A = this chain, B = another copy of it.
Amino acid sequence: MRDPMFTLTAGPTQTWPSVQAAMSGPIVYDYDPVFLERFARTERKVAELFRTSGDVVLMQGEAVLGLEAAARALVRPGMTAINLVSGVYAKWFGLWLAEYGANLVEVEVPYDEHVDPALVRQALADHPDAGLVAVVHSETPSGVLNPLREIAAIVRDHGALMVADVVSSLGGEELDFDGWGLDLCVAGPQKCLAGPPGMSLCAISDRCWDAIRDNPSAPRGSFLSLLDWKDRWIDGGRTAFPYTPSVVEVAGVEAACDVVLEMGLGRSIAIHRRAARAVREGVLAMGLELWARDAEFATSCVTSVRVPDGCDCLGTLAHIRERYGVMLSPGYGEIKERLFRLGHQGPGAASLNPVVALAALGRGLVDQEVPVRVGDGVEAALEVLFEDPAEVSS
């Protein structure tokens, strides 16, 4: 099969030319002075995106590594951990919490709904000994956004650690690590930052480090160890790595950060929000149904569309890919074949890429004899894309 012309998926997603150029450069030694400098510089840029003055750990594997590392670092056998579940990834995070010995309390809502902050307040009241609360900010598998700021405020008041999977929200949704009092966040570079996927971007508060240090179960001397990075790299004066960093990925991630910082973080978020709104309006105008019950809580990185009755989800996507050269995503996990996901991340959120995603899905459905008003969808999306994206405060 030929290469895709458009990668408008849930991520990894198509990237910017400057990111490709950065990854085409010579491979350098990880202890070359220019690389040591680049690594530290990239940390600072990621910190700027997280809006934190605290530590950032760049773990050298895709975000799942950072999430597993976080769970292992924080869970002490017997501690109570509250896991807020509105989707597949949160469910999986709970499996880790339980596996590493937590007394797991799950607050679960249907996967097309967000977690109401009132539920969090109630759970903490019911489990006052809870040491941490975990949530997925943006559930990429279903496209549902949780109100992280409000949840974090409640958790902060209570005193538990607030752990958030922000894999697909960094750069596309408002996020203020220091301002909202978050303790540990893990983001992926291959979503709204449109970088290469092989890295976990972790922000960690000082009190979170204290908790990790106090935890005898926290891994050390392991690829999964946050402490190794803290001790060897960060506190060791940034001259020694616990293991060899992926020098090409680092170059790509720095370039991806540069794109967002040059455009302005607020503007990046606004562009993602506008793209999401354009696609939602387009989907509705085409006569299709959104997965997220409440558009206010739909994420800005992907839009999930319910697969019409009788329609073959995977077959339709394969047809769209083969015939039109456009790669879209199905759902993920247990809801894999119940939804189409249109990604709008990085360049995919800009220009007319949202129109391409809509036209591809719409026409692909028409080809399957699903009656869809493609033209109306495109017009509705263009109506939104015409608007100047208002800067978001962050």
Is B33 touching A196 in the complex (CB atoms < 8 A)? no
Is B244 touching A29 in the complex (CB atoms < 8 A)? no
Q: How many of A's residues come within 8 Å of B, CB to CB?
A: 90
Is B221 touching A223 in the complex (CB atoms < 8 A)? no
Cβ–Cβ < 8 Å partners of A261 in chain B: none
Q: Given A62-B246, A247-B12, A355-B355, A327–B29 Cβ distance below 8 Å?
A: yes
* Smallest CB separation, A127 vs chain B (Å): 25
* Smallest CB separation, A166 vs chain B (Å): 16
Cβ–Cβ < 8 Å partners of A211 in chain B: none
Is A30 touching B197 in the complex (CB atoms < 8 A)? yes
* Interface hits, A1-44 → B, CB 8 Å: 1-7, 9, 11-15, 17, 19-34, 37
* Interface hits, A239-262 → B, CB 8 Å: 243-249, 252
Is A29 touching B12 in the complex (CB atoms < 8 A)? yes
* Interface hits, A368-394 → B, CB 8 Å: 373-379, 382, 385-386
- Let me know if A125 is at the binding interface, CB within 8 A: no
**Which of A110-118, A150-158, A346-354 lies at the binding interface?**
A346-354
CA of A108 to CA of B337, assembled, Å: 56
- Let me know if A284 is at the binding interface, CB within 8 A: no
Partner of A249, one of B249, B355, B360: B249
Query: Which A residues are within 8 Å of any B CB, using their own CB?
Result: 1-7, 9, 11-15, 17, 19-34, 37, 60-65, 68, 95-96, 99, 188, 190, 194, 196-198, 221-224, 243-249, 252, 263, 321, 323-327, 329, 347, 350-353, 355-356, 359-360, 362-363, 366-367, 373-379, 382, 385-386
Residue of B nearest to A321 (CB): B33
Partner of A27, one of B12, B68, B188: B12
Is B64 touching A243 in the complex (CB atoms < 8 A)? yes
* Smallest CB separation, A344 vs chain B (Å): 13
Tallying the copies of this chain within the complex gives 4
Cβ–Cβ < 8 Å partners of A360 in chain B: 352
* Smallest CB separation, A335 vs chain B (Å): 15
Cβ–Cβ < 8 Å partners of A22 in chain B: 21
Is A23 touching B248 in the complex (CB atoms < 8 A)? yes
Cβ–Cβ < 8 Å partners of A359 in chain B: 352, 355, 359, 378, 382
Is A24 touching B23 in the complex (CB atoms < 8 A)? yes
Known pairs A12-B27, A12-B244, A352-B359. 6 more at Cβ < 8 A?
A11-B29, A12-B247, A17-B25, A246-B249, A325-B351, A367-B386
* Smallest CB separation, A172 vs chain B (Å): 17
Is A374 touching B363 in the complex (CB atoms < 8 A)? no
* Smallest CB separation, A116 vs chain B (Å): 29
CA of A359 to CA of B325, assembled, Å: 18
Residue of B nearest to A59 (CB): B61
Cβ–Cβ < 8 Å partners of A13 in chain B: 27, 29
Residue of B nearest to A22 (CB): B21
Is B61 touching A353 in the complex (CB atoms < 8 A)? no
Residue of B nearest to A353 (CB): B5
Is A374 touching B382 in the complex (CB atoms < 8 A)? yes
Cβ–Cβ < 8 Å partners of A62 in chain B: 60, 243-246
Q: Given A223-B61, A326-B351, A198–B246 Cβ distance below 8 Å?
A: yes
Q: Given A5-B347, A5-B350, A249-B248, A20–B25 Cβ distance below 8 Å?
A: yes
Is A28 touching B327 in the complex (CB atoms < 8 A)? yes
CA of A119 to CA of B54, assembled, Å: 51
Residue of B nearest to A373 (CB): B375
Closest 5 CB pairs of A and B: A375-B375, A198-B246, A24-B24, A5-B351, A325-B351
Residue of B nearest to A72 (CB): B222
